């Protein structure tokens, strides 16, 4: 399997920027999109519980409806694929059981062998004061990072978007009453020629300030 060298990786990460203007005429080819969906699905999560749903929007009228509930930012309409990262609002026996079923199916192990693991997850889920939505949101942001980096490696542009009204997204996408709630979105596609943000220098604190070596 081929890998990127360190300088190649850094070049891809320098290339990525939060894209403000997408070329609305360019769509991500199906095979590339399939790889990005795989990146979403392969995202690691705490206990492996995957407390998320990724809503992929390519329907143009729906993308346009999201602009006014995205602080009037144009990316949802202009991008190729708009991804909404939604999280579970509840973590109970049913969710843990469904996950155990998928472990059994994937690895062919006996349910009894997972009793200890099940106990750990149940203990976590029942911890007094656990904010399931906040915990699931941490997991969703890992998926967001994984998605953006994967896209950058493939030469696909993205814009992470917290500038959205999550409750309105839920209404428009029919997420309310599904047990999932929107936390963040990410537009994906190809930068428009005239997007002046592409040429801006990166602003980052110096490495010495943000990395401590012990």
How far are the Cα atoms of 21, 98, 138 from residue 157, in angstroms, in the given order?
Answer: 10, 34, 23
Name residues contacting ligand FMN, limited to 20-39 (CB under 6 A).
20
189 binds ligand FMN (CB under 6 A): no
Q: Figure out which of the listed residues 21, 33, 52, 73 binds ligand FMN, where binding follows CB under 6 A.
A: 73
Binders of ligand FMN among residues 134 to 173 (CB under 6 A) are 159-163
The closest residue (CB) to ligand FMN is 163
Distance CA 123, CA 91 (A): 11
- CB nearer ligand FMN, residue 18 or residue 142: 18
Q: How far apart, in whole angstroms, are the C-alpha atoms of residue 70 and residue 175?
A: 17
Query: Are the C-beta atoms of 169 and 69 separated by less than 8 Å?
Result: yes
State the Cα–Cα distance between residues 191 and 93, nearest whole angstrom. Answer: 44
- Residue 68 CB, nearest distance to ligand FMN (Å)? 14
Q: Of the candidates 9, 18, 118, 142, which one interacts with ligand FMN according to CB under 6 A?
A: 18
Number of residues that bind ligand FMN (CB under 6 A): 11
Give the residues lining the site for ligand FMN (CB under 6 A). 17-18, 20, 73, 159-163, 184, 202
């Amino acid at each position: 399997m081929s890998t990127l060298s360190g300088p190649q990786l850094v070049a891809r990460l320098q290339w990525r920027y939060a894209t403000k203007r997408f070329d609305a005429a360019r769509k991500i080819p199906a095979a590339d999109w399939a790889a990005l969906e795989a990146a979403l699905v392969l995202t690691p999560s705490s206990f492996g519980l995957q407390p998320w749903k990724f809503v992929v929007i390519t329907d143009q009228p729906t993308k346009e409806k999201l602009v006014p509930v995205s602080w009037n930012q144009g990316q949802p309409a202009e991008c190729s694929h708009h991804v909404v990262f939604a999280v579970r609002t509840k973590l109970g026996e049913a969710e843990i059981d469904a996950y155990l079923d998928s472990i059994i199916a994937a690895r062919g192990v006996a349910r009894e062998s997972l009793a200890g693991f099940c106990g750990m997850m149940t203990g976590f889920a029942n911890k007094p004061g656990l904010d399931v939505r906040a915990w699931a949101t941490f997991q969703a942001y890992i998926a967001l990072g994984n998605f953006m980096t994967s896209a950058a490696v493939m030469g696909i542009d993205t814009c992470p978007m917290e500038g959205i009204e999550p409750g309105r997204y839920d209404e428009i996408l029919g997420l309310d009453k599904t047990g999932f709630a929107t936390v963040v979105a990410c537009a994906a596609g190809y930068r428009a020629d005239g997007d002046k943000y592409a040429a801006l220098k990166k602003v980052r604190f110096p490495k010495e300030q943000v990395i401590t070596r012990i």
